[in-house]
Structure 1
Amino acid sequence: MSETIAVVTGASRGIGAALARSLLAPGVKLITLARRADADLAAAAKSVGAELEQIQVDLSDLAAADAAAKHVAALLVPGAKRYLLINNAGTVHPVAAAPAMTDGPAIAQAFNLNVTAVMLLTAHFVQAVSGLDAERRVMNISSGAGRNPTAGWGVYCATKSALDMYTRVLNQEQGERGVRAVSMAPGIVDTDMQGTIRASDPTQFPALSKFQEFKASGALAQPADVAARLVDYLGRVDFGATEIDDIRNYK
C-alpha cells in the first residue's frame, strides 16, 4: 500500500513536470494528467520504486476532464497516509486587450482548463477521500495575475482570481472535514508559458518588455527549484494556514 497518493495535472512540461519528478519516491503512487505520456517520467518512477499512472487527457475538453476525474477518484484507494491533489495545468491564452477579446471559444477553453477542470477534479477528489483518516490536501497553482490586474491578461487574470476564490470556498466547506486547500502562486518561472508571453503582440500586451527583461536578466526561477519548494510546502504542518499564498514567502 502506498503511503502517499499524489495527483498532478499538466505534468508533461514546466512546473508540472518538475513537480512530478520531485514527488517520485518509494511508497508514492503518482497519478499524472497531461496531453501526452512521459516516457522519461516512467523510467524515473521505476528507478526509485514509485508507482506511476499516467492519464492522457485534454483538460480543456470538459467531457474528457470529467471522465479523467472519475478515473482518478477510482485510483484513490483507502489506506494511504496522504492524499494530494495539485491542480497545475493552465493556459495564458488568449492574450488581448478587452476590446479585442472577441474569440469566444478561446475564452471558454481557457476557463475550462484554468477553472472548470479544477472544480471537476477537486469534486471527485474530495468525494473519494471523504472521511479517510489521512492528510488530504489540495494545492491550486494560481498566479499573482489573479491578485493584480495586467493589461492584456483579462482572461488569465480572471481565471486565476476565480481559482483563488474557489479555494476559499473549498476551505470554508471542507476545512472542518479535514480537507485543506491553498491557492499558491509560484512566482515567475522559466517555462514554456513564459516563452508564449514573450511572443505576445505588444499592442495587446503592454508589459511585454518587462517579461522580456525577466528572461534577459536571469530573473526567472527554474522549474525544478520551484517544484522542490512546492513539494516541501505540501508537507508543512501549517499547510493552508494562509489560503491565498505565494511560494516566494517560503525561502
Structure 2
Amino acid sequence: MTDKVIVLTGASRGLGAALAEALLAADTLLVTVSRKPNESLQKLARERGAQLLQIAADLSDPLKAVVGAEKVAAALPESASSYALINNAGMVQPLALAPQLTDGPAIASAFNLNVTAVILLTARFLATTEGRARNRRILNISSGAGRNPQPSWGVYCATKAALDMYTRVLNAEQRANGVRAVSLAPGVVDTDMQASIRNSDPARVPVQPRFAELHARGQLSAPAQVAARIAAYLRRDDFGQAEIDDIRNYD
C-alpha cells in the first residue's frame, strides 16, 4: 500500500528538480510531469528505494496537457492515505513593456503553462481522488509578481494573479470535500528563470538591474534550500489556513 501520493509538475530543472529530490521517500509515490525525464532523479529514487513515475508532457500545449493529465489520473493508486498536487511548472517569458507585447503565440504559451495546465491537471486530480481520502492538498507555486506589479512582467504578473484567484475558487468550492489549496510564493530563487531576467535588455525589462544586483550580492535563495522549506510546508497540520501565502513567512 502506498501511504502518500504526490504529483509534481516542472520537475526537470530549477526549483522543480530540487522539490522532486526533497519529496522522494520510501512511503511516497512521486509522479512527475515534465517535458523530459530527469535521469538523475531516477537514479536518486533507486538509491533511496523510493517510488517514482515520470510522465513526459509539454504542458504549454493544452492538448498535450490534457493527455498528460489523463496519464497522471491513470497512475494514481486508490489506496493512498493522502494525495497532493504541486503545480510548479511555469515560465516568465515573454518579458516586455506593454506596447511591445505583440507575440501572440508566446503570450498564449505562458497562459497555457501557468494557468490552463494547472486547471486541467487539477480537474483530473480532483475527479480521480474523489472519495479516496479526506487529506487532499493542492499547492500552486505562485509568485509575489502576482500580488505586486513589475514593469515588463505584464504576462507573468497576470498569470500568477490568475493562479492566486483560481486557488481561492478551489477553496470556496472544494474545502467541504476535504481539499485544501494554497497559492505559495517561493521568494527569489536562483534558477534559469532568474538567469533569463538577468540576461534581458534593460530597455525592455526595467527591473533587470535589480535582479542582476541581487545575484551579484548572493541574495538569491538556493533551490535546494527553498525546496526543503516547501516540502516541510506541504506537511504542516495548518496547511491551507492561509490560502495566499509566501514561504518567506516561515523563515
Shift of 1:224: 0.4
What does residue 120 of structure 1 align with?
A: 120
Separation of aligned partners in 2, 1:136 and 1:192: 31
Consecutive aligned runs of 4 or more in structure 1 exceeding 3 Å deviation: none
Is contact 2:134–2:179 with CA below 8 Å preserved after alignment? no
Separation of aligned partners in 1, 2:12 and 2:124: 22
What does residue 61 of structure 1 align with?
A: 61
Is contact 1:10–1:88 with CA below 8 Å preserved after alignment? yes
Shift of 1:200: 1.2
Is contact 2:2–2:77 with CA below 8 Å preserved after alignment? no
Is contact 1:115–1:163 with CA below 8 Å preserved after alignment? yes
Paired residue type of 1:210: R
- Alignment of 1:26 onto 2:33: no
- Alignment of 1:70 onto 2:63: no
What does residue 204 of structure 2 align with?
A: 204
Separation of aligned partners in 1, 2:76 and 2:183: 22
What does residue 93 of structure 1 align with?
A: 93
**Greater CA drift, 74-83 or 120-129:** 74-83
What does residue 235 of structure 1 align with?
A: 235
Give the SS at the match of 1:72.
helix
Separation of aligned partners in 1, 2:62 and 2:172: 26
Separation of aligned partners in 1, 2:82 and 2:220: 31
Give the SS at the match of 2:181.
strand
Separation of aligned partners in 2, 1:133 and 1:93: 37
Separation of aligned partners in 2, 1:96 and 1:245: 27
Separation of aligned partners in 2, 1:173 and 1:76: 22
Shift of 1:83: 0.6
What does residue 47 of structure 1 align with?
A: 47
Paired residue type of 1:101: L
What does residue 7 of structure 1 align with?
A: 7
Is contact 2:62–2:112 with CA below 8 Å preserved after alignment? yes
Q: How do residues 112-151 of structure 1 correspond to structure 2 at under 5 angstroms?
A: 112-151=112-151
Give the SS at the match of 2:31.
strand
Q: How do residues 159-238 of structure 1 correspond to structure 2 at under 5 angstroms?
A: 159-238=159-238
Shift of 1:159: 0.2
Paired residue type of 2:193: M
Separation of aligned partners in 2, 1:85 and 1:40: 22
Give the SS at the match of 2:159.
helix
Is contact 1:80–1:134 with CA below 8 Å preserved after alignment? no
Paired residue type of 2:83: Y
Shift of 1:133: 2.6
Paired residue type of 1:54: Q
Is contact 2:134–2:177 with CA below 8 Å preserved after alignment? no
Could you tell me which runs of 5 or more consecutive residues in structure 1 were left unpaired when the two chains were aligned: none
Q: What's the TM-score, normalizing by structure 2?
A: 0.99
Separation of aligned partners in 2, 1:134 and 1:71: 23
Is contact 2:82–2:133 with CA below 8 Å preserved after alignment? no
1:47-106: CA deviations, max 9, x gaps?
111111111111001111001101101111211111110000000000000001011110
1:112-135: CA deviations, max 9, x gaps?
000000000000000011122341
Paired residue type of 2:162: A
Separation of aligned partners in 1, 2:53 and 2:133: 23
Is contact 1:152–1:205 with CA below 8 Å preserved after alignment? yes
Paired residue type of 2:66: D
Separation of aligned partners in 2, 1:194 and 1:18: 16
Give the SS at the match of 1:236.
coil
Separation of aligned partners in 2, 1:134 and 1:147: 31
Give the SS at the match of 1:219.
coil
Separation of aligned partners in 1, 2:13 and 2:218: 20
Shift of 1:46: 1.0
Separation of aligned partners in 2, 1:22 and 1:83: 17
Is contact 1:4–1:82 with CA below 8 Å preserved after alignment? yes
Q: What's the TM-score, normalizing by structure 1?
A: 0.99
